[in-house]
Protein backbone atom coordinates (compact mmCIF):
# COMPACT_ATOMS: atom_id res chain seq x y z
CA UNK A 1 0.00 0.00 0.00
CA UNK A 2 2.66 2.52 1.01
CA UNK A 3 4.36 2.20 -2.37
CA UNK A 4 1.28 3.73 -4.02
CA UNK A 5 2.12 7.11 -2.51
CA UNK A 6 5.67 6.95 -3.83
CA UNK A 7 4.62 6.54 -7.44
CA UNK A 8 5.24 9.83 -9.29
CA UNK A 9 1.93 11.41 -10.18
CA UNK A 10 3.68 13.65 -12.60
CA UNK A 11 6.93 13.64 -14.55
CA UNK A 12 8.00 17.06 -15.80
CA UNK A 13 10.52 17.33 -18.61
CA UNK A 14 10.78 20.76 -20.20
CA UNK A 15 13.96 20.49 -22.23
CA UNK A 16 13.46 23.92 -23.78
CA UNK A 17 10.79 26.61 -23.95
CA UNK A 18 11.28 29.53 -26.31
CA UNK A 19 8.69 32.23 -26.98
CA UNK A 20 9.19 33.05 -30.67
CA UNK A 21 10.11 36.51 -31.91
CA UNK A 22 7.07 38.72 -32.58
CA UNK A 23 6.60 42.30 -33.77
CA UNK A 24 10.21 43.39 -33.34
CA UNK A 25 10.66 41.53 -30.03
CA UNK A 26 13.46 38.98 -30.06
CA UNK A 27 12.78 35.32 -29.32
CA UNK A 28 12.82 34.61 -25.56
CA UNK A 29 14.40 31.38 -24.35
CA UNK A 30 12.64 31.11 -20.97
CA UNK A 31 13.11 27.55 -19.65
CA UNK A 32 15.94 25.05 -20.09
CA UNK A 33 16.48 21.45 -18.97
CA UNK A 34 13.76 21.35 -16.30
CA UNK A 35 13.36 17.80 -15.12
CA UNK A 36 11.59 16.61 -11.95
CA UNK A 37 9.03 14.12 -10.68
CA UNK A 38 6.18 14.91 -8.32
CA UNK A 39 4.99 12.24 -5.89
CA UNK A 40 1.29 11.70 -5.27
CA UNK A 41 0.03 13.70 -2.32
CA UNK A 42 3.00 16.07 -2.13
CA UNK A 43 2.68 19.85 -1.91
CA UNK A 44 5.36 21.36 -4.15
CA UNK A 45 6.10 25.09 -4.26
CA UNK A 46 7.79 26.44 -7.38
CA UNK A 47 9.56 29.65 -6.56
CA UNK A 48 12.01 32.05 -8.19
CA UNK A 49 12.36 35.67 -9.25
CA UNK A 50 9.70 37.68 -11.03
CA UNK A 51 9.75 37.03 -14.77
CA UNK A 52 11.73 33.84 -14.17
CA UNK A 53 9.39 31.48 -15.97
CA UNK A 54 7.28 30.02 -13.10
CA UNK A 55 3.91 30.72 -14.73
CA UNK A 56 5.22 29.55 -18.09
CA UNK A 57 6.19 26.23 -16.48
CA UNK A 58 2.82 25.85 -14.72
CA UNK A 59 0.95 26.60 -17.95
CA UNK A 60 2.98 23.90 -19.69
CA UNK A 61 2.21 21.39 -16.91
CA UNK A 62 -1.49 22.31 -17.14
CA UNK A 63 -1.48 21.68 -20.89
CA UNK A 64 -2.36 25.32 -21.61
CA UNK A 65 0.90 25.74 -23.55
CA UNK A 66 2.04 22.85 -25.73
CA UNK A 67 4.73 24.71 -27.70
CA UNK A 68 7.83 23.36 -25.92
CA UNK A 69 10.46 20.64 -26.30
CA UNK A 70 9.98 17.80 -23.84
CA UNK A 71 6.96 16.14 -22.28
CA UNK A 72 4.64 16.17 -19.29
CA UNK A 73 3.58 12.73 -18.20
CA UNK A 74 0.78 12.00 -15.72
CA UNK A 75 0.69 8.57 -14.05
CA UNK A 76 -2.91 8.24 -15.25
CA UNK A 77 -4.27 10.23 -18.21
CA UNK A 78 -7.64 10.45 -16.43
CA UNK A 79 -6.31 12.35 -13.41
CA UNK A 80 -8.55 15.23 -12.52
CA UNK A 81 -6.58 18.53 -12.68
CA UNK A 82 -7.80 21.89 -11.32
CA UNK A 83 -6.12 25.30 -11.79
CA UNK A 84 -6.36 28.32 -9.47
CA UNK A 85 -5.13 31.45 -11.24
CA UNK A 86 -3.69 34.71 -9.87
CA UNK A 87 -6.95 36.43 -10.70
CA UNK A 88 -10.03 34.62 -9.28
CA UNK A 89 -11.68 34.56 -12.77
CA UNK A 90 -15.25 34.36 -11.46
CA UNK A 91 -18.04 35.01 -13.97
CA UNK A 92 -19.41 38.44 -12.97
CA UNK A 93 -22.97 37.64 -14.04
CA UNK A 94 -23.17 34.54 -11.84
CA UNK A 95 -23.47 34.38 -8.06
CA UNK A 96 -20.71 32.87 -5.93
CA UNK A 97 -22.67 29.64 -5.60
CA UNK A 98 -23.42 29.51 -9.32
CA UNK A 99 -19.74 30.06 -10.14
CA UNK A 100 -18.90 26.95 -8.12
CA UNK A 101 -21.80 24.87 -9.43
CA UNK A 102 -20.86 25.68 -13.03
CA UNK A 103 -17.70 23.57 -12.96
CA UNK A 104 -19.70 20.41 -12.23
CA UNK A 105 -21.80 18.50 -14.78
CA UNK A 106 -25.56 19.09 -14.18
CA UNK A 107 -26.39 15.84 -12.37
CA UNK A 108 -23.10 15.38 -10.58
CA UNK A 109 -23.53 14.18 -6.97
CA UNK A 110 -20.90 16.71 -5.83
CA UNK A 111 -23.55 19.47 -6.17
CA UNK A 112 -24.70 18.26 -2.74
CA UNK A 113 -21.31 19.30 -1.28
CA UNK A 114 -21.39 22.94 -2.41
CA UNK A 115 -23.13 24.45 0.61
CA UNK A 116 -20.93 22.64 3.11
CA UNK A 117 -17.82 23.76 1.22
CA UNK A 118 -19.08 27.36 1.06
CA UNK A 119 -19.49 27.22 4.84
CA UNK A 120 -15.97 25.86 5.28
CA UNK A 121 -14.45 28.69 3.25
CA UNK A 122 -16.53 31.27 5.15
CA UNK A 123 -18.82 32.20 2.26
CA UNK A 124 -22.16 30.78 3.44
CA UNK A 125 -23.62 34.30 3.73
CA UNK A 126 -22.17 35.36 0.37
CA UNK A 127 -23.48 32.36 -1.60
CA UNK A 128 -25.98 34.51 -3.53
CA UNK A 129 -23.78 37.58 -3.92
CA UNK A 130 -22.25 38.53 -7.27
CA UNK A 131 -18.43 38.71 -7.43
CA UNK A 132 -18.31 42.52 -7.64
CA UNK A 133 -20.20 42.71 -4.33
CA UNK A 134 -17.49 40.87 -2.36
CA UNK A 135 -13.84 41.60 -1.54
CA UNK A 136 -10.86 40.21 -3.46
CA UNK A 137 -10.07 37.97 -0.49
CA UNK A 138 -13.61 36.54 -0.60
CA UNK A 139 -13.38 36.10 -4.38
CA UNK A 140 -10.22 34.09 -3.81
CA UNK A 141 -12.01 31.97 -1.22
CA UNK A 142 -14.62 31.29 -3.89
CA UNK A 143 -11.89 30.35 -6.37
CA UNK A 144 -10.49 27.88 -3.81
CA UNK A 145 -13.94 26.39 -3.27
CA UNK A 146 -14.43 26.12 -7.04
CA UNK A 147 -11.18 24.12 -7.28
CA UNK A 148 -11.86 21.89 -4.25
CA UNK A 149 -15.44 21.03 -5.28
CA UNK A 150 -13.84 19.13 -8.18
CA UNK A 151 -11.95 16.93 -5.68
CA UNK A 152 -8.91 17.22 -7.95
CA UNK A 153 -6.09 14.69 -8.04
CA UNK A 154 -3.74 17.54 -8.96
CA UNK A 155 -4.22 21.16 -8.02
CA UNK A 156 -2.15 23.77 -9.88
CA UNK A 157 -2.03 27.22 -8.26
CA UNK A 158 -0.39 30.32 -9.74
CA UNK A 159 0.26 32.99 -7.06
CA UNK A 160 -3.31 32.61 -5.75
CA UNK A 161 -2.78 34.94 -2.75
CA UNK A 162 -0.70 37.70 -4.33
CA UNK A 163 -1.57 41.39 -3.73
CA UNK A 164 -3.63 40.76 -0.58
CA UNK A 165 -2.86 42.36 2.76
CA UNK A 166 -0.85 40.07 5.03
CA UNK A 167 -3.65 38.96 7.43
CA UNK A 168 -5.98 38.15 4.51
CA UNK A 169 -3.24 36.23 2.69
CA UNK A 170 -2.36 34.38 5.90
CA UNK A 171 -6.02 33.49 6.48
CA UNK A 172 -6.23 32.07 2.96
CA UNK A 173 -3.02 30.05 3.44
CA UNK A 174 -4.49 28.52 6.58
CA UNK A 175 -7.73 27.81 4.75
CA UNK A 176 -5.79 26.10 1.96
CA UNK A 177 -3.94 23.96 4.52
CA UNK A 178 -7.25 22.99 6.16
CA UNK A 179 -8.82 22.05 2.83
CA UNK A 180 -5.68 20.18 1.82
CA UNK A 181 -5.47 18.29 5.16
CA UNK A 182 -9.08 17.16 4.84
CA UNK A 183 -8.47 15.91 1.35
CA UNK A 184 -4.75 15.65 0.54
CA UNK A 185 -4.17 16.15 -3.14
CA UNK A 186 -1.04 16.74 -5.18
CA UNK A 187 -0.40 20.50 -5.31
CA UNK A 188 1.96 22.56 -7.46
CA UNK A 189 1.95 26.08 -6.08
CA UNK A 190 3.77 28.92 -7.86
CA UNK A 191 4.92 31.82 -5.71
CA UNK A 192 7.71 34.40 -5.75
CA UNK A 193 7.34 34.58 -1.93
CA UNK A 194 9.88 32.23 -0.30
CA UNK A 195 8.25 32.51 3.11
CA UNK A 196 4.90 31.48 1.65
CA UNK A 197 6.61 28.57 -0.14
CA UNK A 198 8.18 27.27 3.08
CA UNK A 199 5.00 27.83 5.10
CA UNK A 200 2.85 25.74 2.77
CA UNK A 201 4.92 23.20 0.89
CA UNK A 202 6.46 19.82 1.65
CA UNK A 203 9.03 20.50 -1.07
CA UNK A 204 10.42 23.65 -2.67
CA UNK A 205 11.72 23.82 -6.24
CA UNK A 206 13.58 27.02 -7.04
CA UNK A 207 14.01 28.26 -10.62
CA UNK A 208 16.72 30.78 -11.51
CA UNK A 209 18.82 31.97 -14.41
CA UNK A 210 18.03 33.09 -17.93
CA UNK A 211 16.90 30.76 -19.31
CA UNK A 212 15.64 29.39 -16.01
CA UNK A 213 16.47 25.95 -14.72
CA UNK A 214 16.08 24.22 -11.36
CA UNK A 215 18.76 25.50 -8.98
CA UNK A 216 17.34 24.03 -5.76
CA UNK A 217 15.02 21.17 -4.93
CA UNK A 218 14.60 20.70 -1.17
CA UNK A 219 12.23 19.01 1.25
CA UNK A 220 10.72 21.36 3.85
CA UNK A 221 11.38 20.03 7.35
CA UNK A 222 8.40 21.50 9.19
CA UNK A 223 5.44 19.76 10.81
CA UNK A 224 1.93 21.10 10.18
CA UNK A 225 1.97 22.70 13.66
CA UNK A 226 5.31 24.46 13.03
CA UNK A 227 3.99 26.11 9.88
CA UNK A 228 1.97 28.66 11.86
CA UNK A 229 5.08 29.65 13.86
CA UNK A 230 6.72 32.55 11.98
CA UNK A 231 10.09 32.02 13.73
CA UNK A 232 10.23 28.34 12.75
CA UNK A 233 9.23 29.20 9.19
CA UNK A 234 11.91 31.91 9.00
CA UNK A 235 14.57 29.53 10.34
CA UNK A 236 13.62 26.90 7.76
CA UNK A 237 13.56 29.55 5.03
CA UNK A 238 17.10 30.57 6.03
CA UNK A 239 18.23 26.94 6.07
CA UNK A 240 16.93 26.38 2.54
CA UNK A 241 17.73 29.70 0.89
CA UNK A 242 20.34 31.21 3.21
CA UNK A 243 19.74 34.31 5.34
CA UNK A 244 19.04 37.14 2.88
Give 117 or 204: the residue with its C-beta nearer to ligand ATP. Answer: 204
The neighbour count for residue 230, using CB atoms within 10 Å, is 11
Does 63 sit near ligand ATP (CB under 6 A)? no
Does 192 sit near ligand ATP (CB under 6 A)? yes
Q: SS3 of 194, please? A: helix
- Give least dist CB 57 to ligand ATP, A: 7
Residue 164 and residue 172 in contact, taking contact as beta carbons nearer than 8 Å: yes
- Give least dist CB 238 to ligand ATP, A: 22
- Give least dist CB 134 to ligand ATP, A: 25
Contacts 24+ apart (CB under 8 A), 1-8: 4/40, 5/39, 5/40, 5/41, 6/39, 6/40, 7/39, 7/40, 7/75, 8/37, 8/38, 8/39, 8/40, 8/75
Does 186 sit near ligand ATP (CB under 6 A)? no
Give 162 or 177: the residue with its C-beta nearer to ligand ATP. Answer: 162
Give 30 or 144: the residue with its C-beta nearer to ligand ATP. Answer: 30
Binding to ligand ATP (CB under 6 A): which residues in 1-60? 19, 28, 30, 48, 50-56
Residues lying near ligand ATP in the complex (CB under 6 A) are found at: 19, 28, 30, 48, 50-56, 192
Amino acid sequence: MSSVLNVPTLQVNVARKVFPAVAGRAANHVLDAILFDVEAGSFVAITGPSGGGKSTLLNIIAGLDRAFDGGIRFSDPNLNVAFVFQSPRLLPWRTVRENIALVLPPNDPRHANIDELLGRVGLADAAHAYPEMISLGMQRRAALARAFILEPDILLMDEPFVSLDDPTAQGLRQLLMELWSRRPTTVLFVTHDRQEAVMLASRVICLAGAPASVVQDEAVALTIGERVDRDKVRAEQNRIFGAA
